[in-house]
Amino acid sequence: MQHNLAITPSPHVRSGATTRRIMQDVCIALAPAGIASVILFGGHAAVIIAVCVLTCVLTEYVYQRLMNQRVTAGDWSAVVTGLLLAYNIPANAPIWIPIVGSVFAILIVKQLFGGIGSNFMNPALTARAVLFVSWSSIMTAYPNTVFMTGGVDTVSSATPLAALGKVFTGAEGASLADVGLADLFLGNCAGVLGETCKLALILGGIYLFIRKVIDWRIPVCMIGTVAVMYLLTSGFNAELTLKELLSGGLMLGAIFMATDYATSPQTNLGRIIFGVGCGLLLFVIRAYASYPEGCSFAILFMNVCSPLIDRWTAPTPFGEVKQHG
Amino acid sequence: MFGKHLFPGGIHPAEGTNGKAVNQRNAITELPAPKRVVIPLSQHIGAPAKAIVKKGDRVLMGQMIGEAGGFVSAPVHASVSGIVADIVPVTMFNGSEITAIVIENDFRDEWAPLDAPADPESLSPAETLQRIRQAGIVGMGGATFPTAVKLTIAPDKHFEKLVINGAECEPYLTADHRLMLEQADAIIDAVSLILRIFSVPEAIIGVEENKPDAIDALRRAASGNPAIRVQALPVRYPQGGEKQLIHALTGRTVPAGKLPIETGCVVMNAGTAFAVHEALREGKPLIRRVTTVGGLVAKPNNWLVRIGTPVRELLRASGGTQKGTRTLISGGPMMGTAFTEIDIPVTKGCSGILALGREAIDPEESPCIRCGRCMRACPMNLQPVRMDHAIRARRFDEADKLGVMNCIECGACTFVCPATRMLTQSFRAGKRIVTIRRNQQKAREEAEKAALAAKAAAEQSKTDGKEA
Ligand code: SF4
Ligand code: SF4
């Protein structure tokens, strides 16, 4: 009866939570938006998603094998990166775009900075930003959905954001009625492939919240800040505000990308500051920078600030007198 | 219902096979005394006791066989009557070697003359401390700090509240639960005596709400004494941590690096209170305790066991360990100590013996994903990730600054970590190194001061010489 007894230091039990399980949960939460993208943009969306996921996992695997590191490519985190990157690419992009983006995301942004947990910028977002800057004509050629006149093969002339921007700045002939609320919510509008169906994204967010993978602070603060800013600057135009919230990459960014563990603060207060910061930046870029989409850049900028925010908001040990330094 | 004071962090560890749900229904059963008891001279924090018997001596049950080896120390007593067979070093749960007195039981259970006070209510504080000390009572929740020392209050401090720890927040353990249920009157009696003798205005007994029967029993027993309050506490590990418990019950926070008395509180485990009752009412020393046997055993139970009984006997009486047992633990699964040698004797601080399966084997570590779960779980409001990074990079000053010395080694951070990192384990090592470095620093500073003083003195004498 004394055979095989192990001596290990306490604690002797664990919660059973694992990195892999968390990443799988994120994948589950991302699934509805993926399905929606195939319905909205057709088979090519599925191809882009598959290429991104495969390239990301493969890049991680090959890199770790070559560098003689422990292979963590099975922890599903590369799958998450692949999905997120795919969701940030227009559905009709040529196939080399997701490949280049995936290799860049995993190799440069993730692995060269030390692998999972050590990267300070979100890999998918950074890759998107790089693709955007390098091949902006491809990355901003948003196709129409299959339900829109012209279908996927036609490039949309105006995204909802552009239309709303005109309303916001009071351009002539612009009307809120040009952008349908139901279309925005269900995703029947131009945009990158995973960001359009807000219903699917919100469902995923609720799942992550229930599974305690993310907490409410970053998404609620980010979305809330955008809402407040639009209300204040548009003379409390609720319809405009709501449509702004449902446009562009805000939902995808707030729920899935701003909440990335490695690149967002860990403290509760830090997460609030981070969320508000993302929301403010997004608003400023959208409203004043004449940029089509501010979400990625807002989050990336806050990523860089996040270690600092964590330091400012570090908790005081229980029983220690609060001190600053 | 719980009062409004929640300590930071906290977790809800799940029970495994034969955990609380099963064992809380098993009444305390006396385990027959074994043929031999092995009584270590050090079962407490502080100096070991000194043997005062020799091989071949006949000893009686309750007779002191080792006397306290200093102020912070506790005597030990024979838990059976019989002959001292040997005085030998034995290996303890934590791997240390300690001299122990082995007594061959004569199965007569002949008590040494018990010196029960005629009127415990009128004992002076000094007499009471003396009796508690002579009875060998130490903290029975596992900390094993000598109780008499704890109750010796420095003149500049005030003993305002007696806090009784009945939280029993570790999974599996039910010894305190059963004791509070079955011996509520005795525990309340000890509390009343301490309040009276030390002129303490108030006692609060904190019990996690998953023991409603024990709460009822204690409330009933305490109904005649308005100075005693029984408070139900939320089930949250580590509710029974001293600082967490004081905060939950009084709203007061023990300053970092300080003792509970800074808040006017003295914390005593429920089992310790029972031992105090036996010492003050009947003059009995601490020679038995209640120990839970749980986990992968056929018949989990709460045993009343003589101190010095080999763990082997406890396991045998509990039906032996079952297939799949991978680790034996003394104490609870969160803070207990793994051991392999089952002839180790049960000591005063041994609240449980658990047989755990595969879940107790540490999984391989993977890289931290910076999820922040460890920070959220920490009941001391620390930042486990940053401390762990600092310690692994051997930046001990940074770890010290981050407050690693405040870590109570509760295990909550390791428990929740999805990257299965050995956080608590790293802090345990880090704390040791920080302590050594602090001491070295102090020694250096003192040496410097001494050198400076010597130099000044030398110069002084030089000038003195010139003047002369
Ligand atoms: S072991 Fe230390 S750092 Fe970890 S949760 Fe407990 S007190 Fe906090
Ligand atoms: S719980 Fe583990 S993975 Fe999460 S931040 Fe703490 S150490 Fe890192």
- Per the structure block, which two tokens stand in for B269? 């485990």
A247, A184: one domain: yes
Task: State the closest ligand 1 atom to the C-alpha of B387, by its place in the atom list counted from 1.
Answer: 3
Please tell me whether residues A34 and A109 are part of one structural domain: yes
Q: Per the domain annotation, does A324 fall within a domain?
A: no
Look at residue A31 and tell me if it is in a domain: yes
| A237–B contact, CB cutoff 8 A | no
Does any domain span residue A93? Answer: yes
Q: Which of B364, B371, B378, B416 to mutate to test the pocket of ligand 2 (most atoms within 8 A of CB)?
A: B371
pLDDT (tens place) for every residue of chain A, 325 residues total: 455 788 888 899 999 899 999 999 999 999 999 999 999 999 999 999 999 999 999 999 999 999 988 888 889 999 999 999 999 999 999 999 999 999 999 999 999 888 888 888 999 999 999 999 899 889 888 888 888 877 777 777 677 888 888 888 777 777 777 778 888 999 998 889 999 999 999 999 999 999 999 999 999 999 999 999 999 998 888 988 999 999 889 999 999 999 999 999 999 999 999 999 999 999 999 888 766 678 989 999 999 999 999 999 999 998 887 544 3
Residues β-bridged to residue B237: B11
One-letter amino acid at A218 equals: I
A17·B325 Cβ contact <8 A:
no
* Beta carbons of B266 and B40 less than 8 angstroms apart: no
Residue B468 has a pLDDT of: 47
Q: How far A232 CA lies from chain B's nearest CA (Å)?
A: 34
CB interface of B with A, residues 107-126, below 8 Å: none
Residues of chain B with pLDDT under 50: 1, 468
**Mutate: best of A4, A7, A14, A21, partner B, most B CBs <10 A:** A14
B385 pocket-lining for ligand 2 (C-beta < 6 Å):
yes
B212 CB-side CA count, 13 A: 0
CB-CB: which of A12, A262, A319 is closest to B360? A12
Please calculate the CA angle B141-B143-B145 and round it to the nearest 5 degrees. Answer: 115
Residue B12 DSSP symbol: -
- Residue ranges covered by each domain of chain B: 288-360, 363-468
Residue A183 is assigned to a structural domain of this protein = yes
Beta-bridged to residue B100, according to DSSP, are: B40, B88
**What is the predicted pLDDT for the residue at B462?**
74
pLDDT, position B467: 53
pLDDT at A128 (0 to 100): 92
Residue A272 inside a domain? The answer is: yes
Domain range holding A189?
Answer: 159-194+212-311
The helix/strand/coil state of A176 is helix
Nearest to B326 among A5, A14, A321 (CB): A5
CA angle A69, A74, A78 (to 5 degrees): 90
Same domain, A114 and A43: yes
CB of B284 closer than 6 A to ligand 2? Answer: no
Residue A182 touches partner B, C-beta closer than 8 Å = no
- Verify that A132 and A171 share a domain, yes or no: no
Q: Do B380 and A77 touch (CB under 8 A)?
A: no
User: What pTM does this model have?
Assistant: 0.91
C-alpha A317: how far from chain center: 33
Q: What pLDDT does residue B1 have?
A: 44
Taking CA atoms only, the protein residue closest to ligand 2 atom 1 is B417
Asked if A301 and A236 sit in the same domain, the reply is yes
Is residue A67 a part of any domain in this protein?
A: yes
Whether the CB of B405 is below 8 Å from some CB of chain A: the reply is no
As a whole number of angstroms, the distance between CA B444 and CA B451 comes to: 10
- CA distances B300 to A2, B28, B171, Å, are 19, 11, 14
With respect to residue A103, please indicate whether it lies within any of the assigned structural domains.
yes
Which has the closest alpha carbon to A38: A49, A29, A51, A54?
A: A49
By the CB < 8 Å criterion, does B339 face chain A? Answer: yes
A148 domain-assigned: no
Query: In B, which residues are within 8 Å of A316 by CB distance?
Result: 381
Distance from the CA of B372 to the center of ligand 2, in angstroms?
6
Task: Compute the distance from residue B378 Cα to the ligand 2 centre, in Å.
Answer: 12
Q: Quick check: A72 contacting B, CB < 8 Å?
A: yes
Say what percent of chain B tops pLDDT 70: 98
pLDDT in the model for residue B466: 59
Closest residue in B to A3 (Cα) is B326
CA distance A62 to chain B (A): 18
Query: What order do you get walking across the sheet with B82-91 strand by strand?
Result: B36-40, B97-105, B82-91, B58-59
Please tell me the distance from the alpha carbon of residue A201 to that of residue A295, in angstroms, as a whole number: 15
Task: State how many domains chain A has.
Answer: 2
- Are residues A41 and A131 both part of a single domain? yes
Q: Which residues in chain A have Cβ-Cβ distances shorter than 8 Å to B328?
A: 5
- Which ipTM was obtained for this model? 0.91
Interchain contact, B418 vs A22, CB within 8 Å? yes
List the single residue in A4, A11, A72 with the smallest CB-CB distance to B326: A4
Q: What is the pLDDT of residue B50?
A: 94
| Phi, psi angles (nearest 5°) of residue B78 | -70, 135
Q: Do A12 and B373 lie within an 8 Å CB cutoff?
A: no
Residue A154 has a pLDDT of 76
Q: Is A325 on the interface with B (CB under 8 A)?
A: no
What is the A69 CA–ligand 1 centroid distance (Å)? 30
User: Distance between CA atoms of A20 and B224, rounded to whole angstroms?
Assistant: 56
Give the CA distances from residue A275 to residues A220, A223, A256, A278, B31, in Å, rounded to whole numbers and listed in that order: 7, 8, 12, 5, 60
What gap in Å lies between CA A263 and CA A109, rounded to an integer?
Answer: 12
Is there a single domain that holds both residue A132 and residue A228? no
Q: Which of B92, B143, B112, B86 is nearest to B283 (CA)?
A: B112
Q: What CATH number labels B363-468?
A: 1.10.1060
Omega prior to A11 cis, within 30 of 0 = yes
Is there a contact between A277 and A294 (Cβ–Cβ < 8 Å)? Answer: no
Give me the residue from B16, B243, B362 closest to A319, CB to CB: B243
Is residue A232 domain-shared with residue A275, that is, in the same domain? yes
B100: left (phi over 0), alpha (psi -120 to 50) or beta: beta
Q: Do B325 and A1 touch (CB under 8 A)?
A: yes
| The pLDDT of residue B465 | 61
Contact criterion met (CB < 8 Å) for B340 and A316: no
Contact state of A267 with B329 under an 8 Å Cβ cutoff: no
Go through chain B and tell me how many residues it has: 468
CB atoms within 10 A of CB A236: 10
Please indicate if any CB of chain B lies within 8 Å of the CB of A262.
yes
User: What CATH number should be reported for the domain whose range is B288-360?
Assistant: 3.10.20.600
Q: Does B106 touch chain A (CB under 8 A)?
A: no
Per-residue confidence (pLDDT) for residue A6, from 0 to 100: 85
Shared domain for A307 and A183, answered yes or no, is yes
- The minimum CA-CA distance between A270 and chain B, rounded to whole Å, is 11
Pairing of strands B82-91, B202-208: unpaired
Q: What are the tokens at B37?
A: 């008891």
CB contacts < 8 A, A to B, total: 162
